[in-house]
Structure 1
């Protein structure tokens, strides 16, 4: 019975993937034809099925950008960049989308060790470094097995050195992945989706206004309180707004 359930689940998963591939192709064709609303509906359909990818968010960002919809385009470019941190096309288009936003907030600068770490490991996300670690570990196992059964001294030395090198790379990749995941959990970011929102000094609609933000602004969430969230900007400004004004990344 368990085998039958597993096979049925596998079949449904395969069918869903095939269907999403067809929807993705149709969405790309709609985008190429200039039917951006139709493309968005089909891309969103894939997201609702539980599948995601950098390409999917990138295409969604492009579609919203073509319709001059600032917040959704920035949101999906940011999502794509999280999945593919080193993608230059995503970075460039994100820059264009940010130019449409009213608030020139900029990015929070990372200094010291964290700044060096983020810059040097930007090629992959935390999950990407995890896959690098798995690949290096597999190569280590292959090299070590060949080393173990090899009879030539010179070959054994080369294989041993190679296996230790890949083992070191695997361990380093795991450390990088864990560190990046830890950094990402320190602060949650969001994109403002309301056209204009008043940021309050306290989590109350009757509180004094601290400043204004507009659609497309990227903020860091520092605290949650009922339906309100406290945010911080790169310049150090803080305030409160109701969560329905933004969408978490």
Structure 2
């Protein structure tokens, strides 16, 4: 009985939090539509404080910051929304507008050939989706093997055998893309510069030489950490060390 009461209390608490989040979100949208962007941000952040995350929430929060010309927060929240919905055209479009507000012009090293094609296909889905596709082919493969085993007709056996081989092939392909996506995500640790201007050092200390400078809103890749310093890499291949407080990691949810 005590367990049932405890479960009911937890469920009621969850429902209450969900209802409150929905109310905050609606109020934030109303304030945004009224042009009260700072107040809308407060409402959206109230939802975040309950540890609720969604692409829609980050998208609206980014739009409110964009209206206030807050460069780093707008880029940051659009990027977080894109992590949750990688293929969303509206997020990509608005992120492009936000990136236009940044100061740093960084050339991207273009990927070409077979590696570009493989990476493009791999990034079509996240790891979970690729895993589900692999499981789906696995289930179909088992069913076809059973049908092959219990079929008496040579024609049906031939069809189920060929189809099962194809399923096994696509299962291996899906698994390969799933593991490739996992490897990409593991090494992918993006962050956004929040300092208005940050000196990037050649070594993780203040006494070292300045390599270059970055400004708010610039996206970087974190490749190493030493105390309160992060080693970063830019899209053009440049590397250096930045103070940890000058950036915010995108994968922190």
Q: TM-score, normalised by structure 1?
A: 0.82
Residue in 1 aligned with 2:40?
A: 39
Structure 2, unaligned stretches of length 5 or more?
Answer: 148-154
Q: In the superposition, relative to structure 1, how do residues 47 and 207 fare at CA in structure 2: closer, same or farther (>3 Å)?
A: same
1:213 is aligned to 214
Go from structure 1 to structure 2 and tell me whether the alpha carbon gap of 1:36 and 1:22 turns closer, same or farther (over 3 Å shift).
Answer: same
Matches within 5 A, 1:10-29: 10-29=11-30
Report the counterpart of residue 77 of structure 2 in structure 1. Answer: 76
CA drift of 1:221 comes to 0.9
Shift of 1:91: 0.9
Q: Describe the superposition over 1:106-130 as per-residue Cα deviations: whole angstroms up to 9, x where unpaired.
A: 5564445542233224443334445
Please list, as runs of the form range in 1=range in 2, the aligned pairs for 1:153-192 lying within 5 A after superposition: 173=174, 175-192=176-193
Distance 1:180 1:227 in 2: 29
Q: Please say if 1:124 is aligned against 2:125.
A: yes
Cα offsets for 1:178-237 (capped at 9, x unmatched): 431221111311100000011111111111111111111111111100000111112221
Q: Equivalent residue for 1:194?
A: 195
2:122 touches 2:178 (CA, 8 Å); kept in 1?
A: no
Distance 1:185 1:103 in 2: 27
- Is 2:55 aligned against 1:54? yes
Ranges in structure 1 where 5+ consecutive residues have no aligned partner: 147-153
Deviates more, 1:115-124 or 1:194-203: 115-124
User: Match of 2:11, SS?
Assistant: helix
Tell me the residue number matched to 1:150. Answer: none
The alignment partner of 2:69 has SS state of coil
SS in 1 for 2:100: helix
Q: Secondary structure at the match of 1:4?
A: helix
Q: How many residues in Structure 1 have an aligned counterpart in Structure 2?
A: 249
Ranges of 4+ aligned residues in structure 1 off by more than 6 Å: 134-146, 154-171
Q: Which has the larger radius of gyration?
A: 2
Cα separation, 2, equivalents of 1:4 and 1:144 = 48
Q: Secondary structure in 2 aligned to 1:100?
A: coil
RMSD of aligned Cα (Å): 3.3
User: With structure 2 as the length reference, what TM-score do the two structures score?
Assistant: 0.81
